Amino acid sequence: MFELAPSFFELTPEQEGTRRQAREFGEREVAPRAAEIDEQDVFPWDLWHKMAQPPYRYTGMFIPEEYEGWPRKIFDICLICEEVTAAGKLALAGVLMEMPGVGPTAILKGGNEEQKRKCLPPIVRGEGMGAFALTEPGVGSDAAAISTRAEYVNGKYVLNGRKRYTSFASIAMWVVVYAKTGPTKGARGISAFLVEQPNQGFLIIDRVPCMGARGHQDEEVLLQNCTLPKESLLGEEGKGLKYALATLDETRTTLCGGFIGLARAAMEEGINYARERVVFGRPIAQYQGVCFPLAEVAVEIEAARLLMYKAAWLADKGVRHTAETAAAKVFASQVLLKATNLAVEVHGGFGCTKRYPIERMFRDGRVWVFAQGTPNIQKLIVARDLFKPIRIE
């Protein structure tokens, strides 16, 4: 089979062990549950708890040791996300690998010691999770245009507004909420707040099931006079969007690992079916109309992985990698959609039935590519990097 590992360097023995362990977790803990999780559309707490246990400790891989974490390099987290998702054949497997980073990283970027020591260790231990509330019903990609307000009144912050796509808000121990403290300052007027649960002013008003990535739902939040002590501010006023974008630079990079893993799983399903399916006396793998498109996907998976590795390498060196991560994400998104669509075509009519897991992977891929910034927004980030003196809308 096509060799998916990069040829110009070798992973260390430790990294190979990390890959192998992640693959075993996906095969043993996720794959047997994948169809059930998709059907029930309920968060699998048992998987979250297993992630926290030795030898995995995946719930602590974004968190430093001083907060009980088991930190890994971004490169290594990419390896884990890819292998768990590829072996588990389920988008939610990759989502679970991301959640220890999305909320906690924002706290690491802007929080004080008290906030970090209170909020991060329970995540590491698998006792709960955090959430990240940036997107709003009328505002998606243009984060600077959010309308949620935070007013400082009598020594407290009072938040009012609505948030959408707040992943796992209904089960989170705390949520990092972004709101405007300086309504006329645009991006520089956004601040981040730590909203601990329960809070009477933080209401889940809608949970919308999605066609894929099930076990995770579109949760809409109403902030109605959500009153917080002044100590709930993360970092400085006006720095919230900075913390959010710094978080997304890291988690978008590792998210690419999940995309690549699911694309791999889809390609492998297509290859296996093409070997077995006999038409006109020959396996359909022998027809160029089948094997050539699969070869293209294999090549593009390799290219997507190398883009991801470059972004991860830069991240681990402490070098800004926003454009590189955007490039990796937009290409990995395209490959995921192409791979899952092709695998359905290779299966023919069977690809649209629950007899084969590719039907689930197709739905998962179609939903998942919008996570943490749409593909077109990633193209915009790359374009702005190419044409820095020119304003591109």
Residue 70 within a domain: yes
Q: What is the pLDDT of residue 104?
A: 93
Task: Reply yes or no on whether the pLDDT at 4 is more than 80.
Answer: no
Q: What is the pLDDT of residue 9?
A: 65
Task: Reply yes or no on whether the pLDDT at 7 is more than 70.
Answer: no
Residue type at 87 in one-letter notation: A
Q: How confident is the model at residue 373 (pLDDT cuts 50, 70, 90)?
A: confident
Q: How confident is the model at residue 183 (pLDDT cuts 50, 70, 90)?
A: confident
How many structural domains does the chain have? 3
Residue 86 within a domain: yes
Q: Identify whether residues 99 and 154 lie together within a single domain.
A: no
- CATH code for the domain in which residue 183 is found: 2.40.110.10
Domain boundary among 124, 152, 186: 124
Q: Which domain holds residue 229?
A: 130-239
Q: What is the pLDDT of residue 393?
A: 61
Residue 6 within a domain: no
With 0-12 / 13-18 / 19 or more C-beta atoms within 10 angstroms meaning exposed / middle / buried, residue 24 is middle
**Mean of per-residue pLDDT scores for the chain:** 92
Tell me what the mean pLDDT of segment 321-335 comes to. Answer: 96
Q: Identify whether residues 235 and 140 lie together within a single domain.
A: yes
Q: Identify whether residues 44 and 110 lie together within a single domain.
A: yes
Q: How confident is the model at residue 144 (pLDDT cuts 50, 70, 90)?
A: confident
216, 271 contact by CB (below 8 A): no
Q: What is the pLDDT of residue 176?
A: 96
pLDDT tens digits, 60-94: 999 999 999 999 999 999 999 999 999 999 999 99
What would the 3-class secondary structure string for 189-208 be? Answer: HEEEEEEECCCCCEEEEEEE
Domain boundary among 93, 124, 155: 124
Q: Identify whether residues 263 and 229 lie together within a single domain.
A: no
Q: What is the pLDDT of residue 42?
A: 93
Residue 2 within a domain: no
State how far the Cα of 58 lies from the Cα of 51, in Å rounded to an integer: 5
**16-to-10, 19, 268, 329 alpha-carbon distances in Å:** 9, 5, 21, 24
Q: What is the pLDDT of residue 391?
A: 66
Q: Identify whether residues 166 and 189 lie together within a single domain.
A: yes
Residue 75 tokens read as 């490169």
pTM > 0.85: yes or no: yes
Closest C-alpha to 17, from 102, 83, 63, 65: 83
Q: How confident is the model at residue 5 (pLDDT cuts 50, 70, 90)?
A: very low
HSE of 254 in the Cβ direction (CA atoms, 13 Å)? 31
Q: Identify whether residues 291 and 353 lie together within a single domain.
A: yes
- CATH code for the domain in which residue 302 is found: 1.20.140.10
Domain boundary among 201, 219, 239: 239
pLDDT tens digits, 298-324: 999 999 999 999 999 999 999 999 999
